[in-house]
Structure formats: structure tokens, C-alpha cells
Amino acid sequence: MSSKFSRIFPLALAALIIMPFTAFAADAAAGLSSAVSGEYGEYLTTSEGFAVYQFQRDSEDESACTGSCTNNWYPVLAGDDGSVAAEGDVDADLIGTLVREDGSIQVTYGGHPLYTSRHDDVGETNGQNIGRESFNLVSLAGAPITEAVDQVAAELDEEVLAELMADGENVYRLHCVACHGNEAQGGVGPGLADNPFVGNTNSLIDQILQGFPEHGMPAFAGILDDHEVASLLTFIRGSFDNSYGPILEEEVAQRR
């Protein structure tokens, strides 16, 4: 049962005494909370509702995300007074901190440094499984969430599915091969073959509709209609060693 009260746990380190106040870019009342996703179940968030992630390259109590990495992944920082609030079912005993190279105090959970993604808004999980050395959502037990929860995939008549796959292959050959490869092996763009990000339904749809301009991927919302997007993603999710089930036009329309 979730508590109605936030528990504040001072985590100030001795180093705080000698660090200038301007070293912190966090709110005075930093905290951790949780949210529930239909795809990933319950996961850790900031108190503002932004999903938080672990980085696979990090070691316990040490961040490997420095320099340009922080342009896309923002370290979750403790409050100005070095404290962190544990809200709801968040386990306060798993909360800790570490001192980053720049002197800021990063929040850890189960010993793992926490980050938010520049590509997320409140309630979104677009950072899940991005890259081969991926960032992952965090369970309330402190473990990385690497797989989507079991879901009932949409069941389509075999002829309808075959037509959708064929239409999607045509869209893929027309718009995607140049960057992602004839067999989705990757090239200018990332490989889509055997890629767990393909199983993240909402984030995948959003990526197609909104694009990824800073990495050269255009937004296709004004180029492809709902059927074309649905068929493309159904093809990708059912090919190249992926097996995630079809995406329907209604699902695309809801995200558009």
C-alpha cells in the first residue's frame, strides 16, 4: 500500500561543505516516485513524473555517462540541501548519492546512478533500450527493466496481416533502407534487427511520427498516413529476428 506521505532522507555528504552552492542544478525538494506503464509495468520516476534510467556501462556508485553523454542523459541530482524524497512505494533504503566529476550530487538507487532522457516528457519512456549499450527503466526493487511485460498482441486475419506486412515492406524499401540497411543491419541509422527498442510500441510510433532530427531522421507525420506507419512498423516488428506483433492504425492515430 502506498504511503500518502513523502519521507525525506538527508543524504548530504561531507563534500557538500566545501562545494559552492552553484554546483547544484536541482530543485530544493528533489525526489523519486513511480509510474505504471502498460508496456513495462511499474517503474521509477522523478517526483515530477519523468522516467529515470540506469546506464549499463555504469558500475556501482560510479557514473560512466560524462561529457557529451550528458547532452542526452541528464543526471538526476539531489536537492539543494543534499536530500532526496522517497514518495509512495519507493524504497528509501535503496536511495543514495555520489559525487560527479563536476562536483554535483547525483542520486543513485540500489547503488546505480540515475538519469532522465532529453527525449522524454512527463509520462513518456522514449529512452528505453536506446542504443546497444542501453539505458533502461528502473524497477522499484532497483533492477533494470529490460523487457516489456507480457501483452496480448493484436490478432489479425492471416490475409490482413500478410497484406500489412507487404505494404510495410514497400514503405521500408522506399524510406528506410538507405539509413537502416537492406536487412535492417544498420548504417547511417541504428540497426533494427533483433533490437528490443522495436518492442516499445508507443516510443516506436513516436519516433516515426516525430523523427530524430539531431541524428538526421526526419519526422514522417506529414509524409506517411496512419496505414503506412502501421504497416511499416508491423513489418519491422515481424522481420529481422524481431517478433513483437502488429501495430494497428488506431494505435498510430492515438499517438499522432
Averaged pLDDT for residues 206-222: 85
Residues 15 and 121 in one domain: yes
Whether 153 is in a domain gets the answer no
Whether 132 is in a domain gets the answer yes
Residues 199 and 84 in one domain: no
Chain centroid to CA 125: 4
pLDDT at 219 over 60: yes
CA distances from 144 to 61, 78, 147 (A): 15, 21, 9
Identify the helix (H) or strand (E) that includes residue 217: none
Whether 150 is in a domain gets the answer no
Identify the helix (H) or strand (E) that includes residue 235: helix 226-237
- State which residues form the domain around 189: 158-255
pLDDT at 209 over 50: yes
Which band of pLDDT confidence, cut at 50, 70 and 90, is reported for residue 151? Answer: low
Whether 64 is in a domain gets the answer yes
Averaged pLDDT for residues 79-87: 88
Residues 248 and 123 in one domain: no
Residue 214, domain CATH: 1.10.760.10
Domain end, chosen from 122, 145, 168, is at: 145
Q: What is the pLDDT of residue 30?
A: 84
pTM: 0.56
Q: What is the pLDDT of residue 240?
A: 92
